[in-house]
């Protein structure tokens, strides 16, 4: 299989793997026109996807059946898929010592505020989850449009770093 035909595996990391990284996995796998496959994991995974994250995904007609929090060590096993890209989406994982991933994946920090940390009324909490969802969606769309196979590693690193600096509030518009 040539580089233009191969599937690139992308791992999204977040501490509890219950919302932001799950959004990344679900959104990337929802893109049928790409050669990208999403996964997610956490350093301290929760027991379940956050209920507001699951509700939002369902409302967007994104399947949640195969989504569940998992520890990032799952992707160090011999039978794990080779990961080509690793994106941390929370500041906690950015500050942690991550495992050494086989194959030298391209890594970047795509920090998104943790919607589960928002307290208060239900509407405010739901808004925080929508904001995180649309921020991830904007970055996924930019990433999915990169000509990955034609970029050298240096240029690819610069591109994914730039995507992590996108102010998603500018791209979410009225949807958020």
User: Does residue 1 fall inside a structural domain?
Assistant: no
- How many CA within 13 A on the CB side of residue 160? 23
User: Does residue 171 fall inside a structural domain?
Assistant: no
User: Does residue 175 fall inside a structural domain?
Assistant: no
Residue 24 confidence (pLDDT):
97
Highest mean pLDDT among 29-33, 92-96, 99-103, 127-131: 127-131
| CATH code where residue 145 lies | 3.40.50.2300
Residue 42 confidence (pLDDT):
94
Residue 102 confidence (pLDDT):
79
What mean pLDDT is predicted for residues 141-153?
Answer: 95
* Tokens (6 digits) for 132: 């995180």
* Dist CA 153 CA 166 (whole Å): 20
Residue 139 confidence (pLDDT):
97
Residue 175 has pLDDT above 70, yes or no: no
User: Does residue 71 fall inside a structural domain?
Assistant: yes
Residue 134 has pLDDT above 80, yes or no: yes
Could you read off the pLDDT of 69-117 as tens digits, one per residue?
999 999 988 899 999 999 999 876 666 677 778 788 999 999 999 999 9
User: Does residue 102 fall inside a structural domain?
Assistant: yes
* Dist CA 17 CA 90 (whole Å): 10
Residue 2 has pLDDT above 90, yes or no: no
* Tokens (6 digits) for 108: 């970047």
User: Does residue 3 fall inside a structural domain?
Assistant: no
Could you read off the pLDDT of 4-28 as tens digits, one per residue?
578 999 999 999 999 999 999 999 9
* Dist CA 82 CA 9 (whole Å): 7
Residue 167 confidence (pLDDT):
77
User: Does residue 123 fall inside a structural domain?
Assistant: yes
User: Does residue 119 fall inside a structural domain?
Assistant: yes
Paired residues of 86 in beta bridges: 11, 107
- What Rg, from alpha-carbon coordinates, does the chain have? 15
Give the dihedral sign, CA 134/161/69/65. positive
Residue 176 has pLDDT above 50, yes or no: no
Residue 172 has pLDDT above 80, yes or no: no
* Dist CA 163 CA 110 (whole Å): 7
Contact 35, 58 (CB under 8 A): no
Place of tokens 């991933």: 101
CA 64, chain centre distance (Å): 15
Range of the domain at 20: 8-166
Q: How many domains does the chain have?
A: 1
| Torsion region of 114: left, alpha or beta (phi above 0 gives left; psi -120 to 50 gives alpha) | beta
């Amino acid at each position: 299989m040539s580089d233009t035909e191969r599937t690139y595996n992308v791992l999204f990391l977040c501490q509890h793997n219950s919302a932001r990284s799950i959004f990344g996995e679900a959104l990337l796998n929802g893109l049928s026109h790409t050669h990208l496959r999403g996964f997610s994991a956490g350093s301290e995974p929760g027991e379940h996807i956050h209920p507001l994250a699951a509700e939002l995904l369902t409302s967007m007609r994104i399947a949640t059946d195969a989504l569940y929090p998992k520890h990032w060590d799952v992707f160090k096993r011999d039978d794990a898929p080779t990961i080509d890209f690793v994106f941390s989406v929370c500041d906690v994982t950015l500050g942690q010592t991550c495992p050494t991933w086989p194959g030298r994946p391209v890594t970047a920090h795509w920090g998104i505020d943790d919607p589960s940390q928002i307290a208060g009324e239900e509407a405010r909490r739901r808004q925080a989850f929508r904001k995180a969802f649309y921020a991830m969606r904007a970055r996924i769309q930019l990433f999915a449009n990169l000509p990955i196979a034609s970029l050298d590693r240096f240029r690819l690193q610069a591109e994914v770093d730039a995507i992590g600096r996108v102010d998603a509030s500018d791209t979410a518009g009225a949807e958020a």
